[in-house]
């Protein structure tokens, strides 16, 4: 297993990549997200050794069990600030405010964005974290869709950037978001769009700063059943009257018979919302389904790890050069 968790910092181990995961998901999704990224990195690493460091922003509201898990298995975010890493992955979280700058974690997130630019070779910003990063660095505000982009979307590869080398020209990837950042504003500010989701906007895009910032509006790390669990979670919120809107079925996800049965159950729930219906819904959706996006997801992360490996080797082999010169060479290679 080339990827391992680590709590004991013993310095640089040469060919080993040190990658941080700042996991901002709440509740039950915390451990699932942790496992998803570990599994994906492990599949992508091949013969590259990776030490994975777990962190969480302190201002994200959490359940008691989630906070207990963080206290037991995560390093304090305070330990991150004076420790450079080869790479960083920052997850999103469920939004609590319409304006990102009103989120309780905003100050910590902006500090993390500035830190990552100075102290990593590359950082991946996922979903809401991507929206926060482009807002803070370039003032690009997200815009709310009229309907949630939820399900499996066809994404076209529109660039030959090394991060999408070997990725098919069209792939299926999960999306689950109410908001988007306009592609025209991204390109005007120097971002490069690598994949575009049909009916959902930019999927993967990058910008070379001191660090290569990689932005994902989709979720290649998702398990095969993650969209199913999100759908049932949101139905549960409606049935408990925590939400006044019944969620739409995830696009292109359930087979026709299951979708028909779930639509019929929705009609019953709208007339008589009872939480007991969740047991029936769980039974309807329990069958195994294939992960149709695993192969391109592994390819993307394999390319990212290769970029980190090359950037780290370049930095260590050019210690006699100025930091600015090394960063320029790395930036030039990233555009190939």
* Whether the predicted model's global pTM rises above the 0.75 cut: yes
242 shares its domain with 117: no
Catalytic residue among 103, 121, 161, 221: 221
Which whole number is the average pLDDT over 45-57?
A: 94
SS3 164: helix
40 shares its domain with 101: yes
pLDDT band at 95; cut points 50, 70, 90 = confident
205 shares its domain with 271: no
Determine what percent of the chain is predicted with pLDDT higher than 70: 90
Catalytic residue among 219, 302, 309, 327: 219
162 shares its domain with 272: no
Q: The tokens 């939480």 sit on which residue?
A: 275
Which whole number is the average pLDDT over 39-67?
A: 93
Q: Is the pLDDT of residue 7 over 60?
A: no
Domain ranges, residue 257: 226-284
202 shares its domain with 79: yes
Q: Is the pLDDT of residue 68 over 50?
A: yes
- The pLDDT value recorded for residue 196 is 98
Per-residue pLDDT tens for 182-220?
A: 999 999 999 999 999 999 999 999 999 999 999 999 999
106 shares its domain with 235: no
Which whole number is the average pLDDT over 219-224?
A: 98
Per-residue pLDDT tens for 279-288?
A: 999 999 998 8
SS3 174: strand
234 shares its domain with 142: no
* Largest interatomic CA distance in the chain: 72
Which whole number is the average pLDDT over 140-160?
A: 96
**Structural domain total, the chain:** 2
48 shares its domain with 98: yes
Q: Which residues of 9-33 are buried (b: 16+ CB within 10 A; e: fewer)?
A: eeeeeeebbbbbbbbbbbeebbebb
Catalytic residue among 69, 103, 105, 127: 127
Both tokens of 65, joined, read 């069990």
Examine the residue annotation and report whether 4 is marked as an active-site residue of this protein: no
Strands 143-157 vs 192-197: parallel, antiparallel or unpaired: antiparallel
pLDDT band at 321; cut points 50, 70, 90 = very low
Q: Is the pLDDT of residue 324 over 60?
A: no
278 shares its domain with 323: no
Examine the residue annotation and report whether 219 is marked as an active-site residue of this protein: yes
Between the alpha carbon of residue 91 and those of residues 2, 22, 94, the distances in Å are: 22, 6, 10
- The pLDDT value recorded for residue 317 is 63
């Amino acid at each position: 297993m080339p990827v391992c968790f680590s709590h004991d910092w013993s310095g640089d181990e040469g060919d080993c990549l040190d990658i941080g995961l700042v996991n901002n998901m709440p509740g039950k999704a915390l451990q699932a997200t942790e496992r998803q990224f570990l599994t994906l990195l492990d599949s992508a690493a091949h013969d590259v050794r990776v030490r994975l460091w777990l962190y969480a922003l302190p201002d994200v509201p959490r359940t008691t069990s989630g906070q207990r898990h963080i206290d037991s298995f995560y390093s304090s975010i305070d330990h991150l600030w004076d420790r450079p890493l080869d790479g960083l992955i920052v997850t999103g979280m469920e939004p609590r405010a319409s304006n990102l700058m009103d989120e309780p974690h905003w100050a910590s997130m902006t500090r993390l964005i500035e830190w990552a630019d100075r102290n990593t070779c590359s950082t991946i910003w996922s979903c809401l974290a991507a929206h926060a990063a482009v807002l803070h660095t370039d003032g690009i505000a997200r815009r709310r869709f009229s309907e949630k982009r939820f399900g499996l979307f066809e994404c076209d590869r529109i660039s030959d950037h090394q991060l999408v080398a070997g990725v098919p020209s069209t792939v299926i990837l999960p999306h689950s978001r109410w908001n988007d950042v306009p592609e025209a504003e991204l390109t005007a500010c120097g971002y490069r769009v690598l994949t575009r989701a049909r009916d959902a906007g930019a999927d993967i895009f990058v910008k070379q700063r001191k660090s290569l910032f990689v932005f994902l509006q989709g979720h290649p790390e998702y398990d095969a059943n993650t969209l199913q669990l999100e759908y049932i979670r949101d139905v549960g919120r409606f049935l408990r009257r925590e939400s006044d809107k019944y969620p739409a079925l995830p696009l292109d996800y359930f087979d026709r018979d299951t979708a028909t049965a779930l639509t019929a159950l929705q009609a019953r729930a709208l007339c008589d919302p009872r939480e007991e219906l969740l047991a029936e819904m769980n039974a309807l959706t329990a069958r195994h389904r294939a992960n149709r996006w695993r192969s391109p997801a592994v390819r993307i992360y394999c390319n990212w790890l290769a970029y980190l490996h090359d950037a780290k080797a370049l930095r260590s082999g050019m210690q006699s050069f100025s930091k600015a010169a090394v960063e320029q060479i790395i930036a030039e290679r990233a555009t190939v």
